[in-house]
Structure 1
């Protein structure tokens, strides 16, 4: 038990304190009030840097995580968070805040080390349990930080700079945990000692053996990628070119599966829009109700949306739906809900309506991304699991960077935040349209492939009896 319990506890401690950020719901207000920046500077010059740095650093950090066996990248992430909050607390000016976004982008890219380290030190039978522990504790830390920040601001009227200081103290506490983690002896690609062994992907929602259609989420007639390609031990632990070649082969085989490609497309498209809405929601709220002149309740909203999203994700495990048949149409319907939520935030200039729409938007996304995660993971070996999720995130960041350059960045159109949210609403409506057409095509294809059934089975039965024996 100690072989998996100790690293799991340490990772949970790290996940809680690194996610405990009381300042986060009030970042825009802090930059406006304490740093004397304008909303245009914050939206059009500072926030885009996180998107660009996350995109540029994601793939190098992914490779470094595997090559260095996780723990050094966890330490890098913890150090990046300490630097982020130190600079945010002490420095001033646009360039200093852009540096904050750069280091936070590095910390975000290093999340891959946190979510993949545990699979290298515990046996596959415990993947589901430890995944639930790590993700649950991270959500708990995020919700607790948002709630505490709101209580300190609303009840005790604590200055916002104290929230940044409290977040910095939490990041310093998180920095201690990775030093005590055991060193991983294997990784997915560079140090894979099991040549042909299949590594099971972690179960994300639970194993419901009584639900046969949910057990095989993608159409079994379309693809089966659960068996890893046998790997030469010298190739998986050898040269960098061999690893890149294996990555490319796995990429081609994984995305040749049409249902997996559909879920991955939704993942990338929706995550792009989700990041944009989350990044600039506080700026929209500032326009609707400026924090300098009234009380704001961003912390309560972030806490509520996190908890509802977690409950929605948990509830997915108890829903029995044939996603192979209804998946595209479900993505269409929920994308419409997300589009409507963004439109309402943009058009109804009431802070409480904006808050409610934001909670609905975020909970819907978490619900769907949980379904998409399970649909993809259930049909992949562990090597492909990490690769596909990384590629999906990379595509999402490419799209987000393009959207940021054109719509947000001052070097592009530099649109105001209300116009931005109108574009984001149209973006989700376009996603819904794509999956509506895909769902209708899927149903029509299934109907054409199903043999005709007579309208009156009794009539056919009686006619069969008249046939000569």
Structure 2
């Protein structure tokens, strides 16, 4: 019953916190009569604040999540969502919308607490099932929210502000479940098990990568931690001790070549993926203005979410030897992602733009799932959370730099079409890097095989 109760609370929270009918139409709403902001303000001065705040808050929130034992950070996330959508309804002006993006960045960074919580209150036998439930419900909430918003807009002909009211109502409902969750008594770093206590595995990493829109069904991400059923007392660690542990694990893990290669793709591709997702709506708004035409962003977001989930599930059935061909597959599919971005911006057809966006997201979902499996397969259990967190942090750091140079009005402040040419070129560069990496790897492998054959004794005698 405690497992069922906690799972139901988390699933309810995950469903309603991701049920956001207004999200596919945010740019149209901000540039419409309700907020009356210009495209330059929305793209170059408001949206970048989310990137900067997410980056700045990710590591402090990660440490706070562990120190406070998860539940308070879940409550903080729920509060942040409510504040975000209250401000989206009631606040006006550039500064208010920038503050709104800060609160949304806080909510995004706080997602670290969502998946990590459940593994501290359930037994190991329930991990797989509970993970499937929680991840499925967040995907369903995101898809259902987009579809609901589109249906309300198209069939009921509601105004965009009514979609924001619906999103706020969902956030208010999501505010309730975290308060009823049991409070864990120990955590991964600050409140550890005593030496010699029985260890268990804990899938702690999904929370670190779950926003990277990457809501990807993952397996094999385990962290060693004490079982609540066998744990009587905890030992507490100070911040210096925790930082020393993280630094030691970092140096140990990133010395491994295969892990470094997959982590590199993870970080650089996630950076570009975030940029395309963040600024796709302004691109659509330029191609097909919502003030003059019906828009179908909700259908596109729904379909792209579902296609991404299907692509992630296909990974286990692909007959690819990733250890041999991984870099070349990354090269080919990164090139496909670059082509999708170029099609979106070059042909200026809204239908081709929608289709390319869906294919872009599905391809990324497939590859990020492969990258996750490959990274996980080369890690000790207790290092999963650290490596996945570092990869996410590096992705956000790169994204912040790209945003500052390309998007922000303090940098070049490029128009949205030019931005997407940059993003397409960015993925083309990624493809080129992994092409050379793949060819070098195959060459080294062939050379090693030839050396082995040359050293093997050859029997030329006949009998």
Secondary structure of 1:268's aligned partner: helix
1:464 equivalenced with 2:441 (yes/no): no
CA–CA separation in structure 2 for the residues paired with 1:387 and 1:381 = 11
1:389 equivalenced with 2:388 (yes/no): yes
Secondary structure of 1:465's aligned partner: coil
Provide closer, same or farther for how the CA distance between residues 319 and 122 of structure 1 changes in structure 2, counting only shifts above 3 A.
farther
Provide closer, same or farther for how the CA distance between residues 73 and 450 of structure 1 changes in structure 2, counting only shifts above 3 A.
same
2:201 paired residue number: 200
Provide closer, same or farther for how the CA distance between residues 245 and 55 of structure 1 changes in structure 2, counting only shifts above 3 A.
same
Q: State whether residues 26 and 160 of structure 1, in contact with CA within 8 Å, keep that contact through their aligned partners in structure 2.
A: yes
Length, aligned pairs only = 442
Provide closer, same or farther for how the CA distance between residues 292 and 229 of structure 1 changes in structure 2, counting only shifts above 3 A.
closer
CA–CA separation in structure 2 for the residues paired with 1:166 and 1:363 = 28
Secondary structure of 2:461's aligned partner: helix
Q: Give a deviation string over 1:412-464, Cα, whole Å, max 9, x none.
A: 11000000000000100111111111111111111122246989xxxx77x33
Provide closer, same or farther for how the CA distance between residues 188 and 429 of structure 1 changes in structure 2, counting only shifts above 3 A.
same
1:446 equivalenced with 2:452 (yes/no): no
Any gaps of 5 or more consecutive residues in structure 1? 206-216, 219-224
Report the CA distance between 1:128 and its aligned residue: 2.3
Secondary structure of 1:200's aligned partner: strand
Report the CA distance between 1:226 and its aligned residue: 8.6
Secondary structure of 1:428's aligned partner: helix
2:291 paired residue number: 292
Report the CA distance between 1:320 and its aligned residue: 3.8
Report the CA distance between 1:319 and its aligned residue: 2.5
CA–CA separation in structure 1 for the residues paired with 2:10 and 2:225 = 30
Report the CA distance between 1:200 and its aligned residue: 3.2
Any gaps of 5 or more consecutive residues in structure 2? 207-218, 227-231
1:266 paired residue number: 265
1:244-283 to 2 correspondences below 5 Å: 244-283=243-282
CA–CA separation in structure 2 for the residues paired with 1:403 and 1:203 = 29
1:211 paired residue number: none
TM-score, scaled to structure 1: 0.89
Provide closer, same or farther for how the CA distance between residues 288 and 227 of structure 1 changes in structure 2, counting only shifts above 3 A.
closer
Alignment root-mean-square deviation, CA? 2.6
Report the CA distance between 1:40 and its aligned residue: 0.8
Report the CA distance between 1:204 and its aligned residue: 10
Q: State whether residues 50 and 105 of structure 2, in contact with CA within 8 Å, keep that contact through their aligned partners in structure 1.
A: yes
Q: State whether residues 204 and 223 of structure 2, in contact with CA within 8 Å, keep that contact through their aligned partners in structure 1.
A: no
1:269-418 to 2 correspondences below 5 Å: 269-418=268-417
Q: State whether residues 128 and 202 of structure 1, in contact with CA within 8 Å, keep that contact through their aligned partners in structure 2.
A: no
Secondary structure of 2:119's aligned partner: helix
CA–CA separation in structure 2 for the residues paired with 1:155 and 1:396 = 39
Secondary structure of 2:113's aligned partner: helix
1:78 equivalenced with 2:75 (yes/no): no
Q: State whether residues 119 and 204 of structure 2, in contact with CA within 8 Å, keep that contact through their aligned partners in structure 1.
A: no
Q: Give a deviation string over 1:147-189, Cα, whole Å, max 9, x none.
A: 0000000111100001001100101111111111111122110
Report the CA distance between 1:380 and its aligned residue: 2.7
Q: State whether residues 266 and 391 of structure 2, in contact with CA within 8 Å, keep that contact through their aligned partners in structure 1.
A: yes
1:134 paired residue number: 134
Q: Give a deviation string over 1:112-171, Cα, whole Å, max 9, x none.
A: 001211121222333222222111110000000000000000111100001001100101
Bigger Cα displacement from structure 2, 165-174 vs 3-12:
3-12
1:106-255 to 2 correspondences below 5 Å: 106-193=106-193, 195=195, 199-200=200-201, 202=203, 237-255=236-254
Q: Give a deviation string over 1:173-216, Cα, whole Å, max 9, x none.
A: 111111111111221101111546654354999xxxxxxxxxxx
TM-score, scaled to structure 2: 0.90
Report the CA distance between 1:301 and its aligned residue: 0.2
Provide closer, same or farther for how the CA distance between residues 229 and 169 of structure 1 changes in structure 2, counting only shifts above 3 A.
closer
CA–CA separation in structure 1 for the residues paired with 2:355 and 2:16 = 28
Secondary structure of 2:88's aligned partner: helix
Report the CA distance between 1:5 and its aligned residue: 2.0
Q: State whether residues 273 and 428 of structure 1, in contact with CA within 8 Å, keep that contact through their aligned partners in structure 2.
A: yes
Q: State whether residues 203 and 378 of structure 1, in contact with CA within 8 Å, keep that contact through their aligned partners in structure 2.
A: no
Moved >3 Å (runs of 4+): 194-205, 225-230, 233-236, 451-455
1:213 paired residue number: none
Q: Give a deviation string over 1:316-341, Cα, whole Å, max 9, x none.
A: 12234321111111111110111000
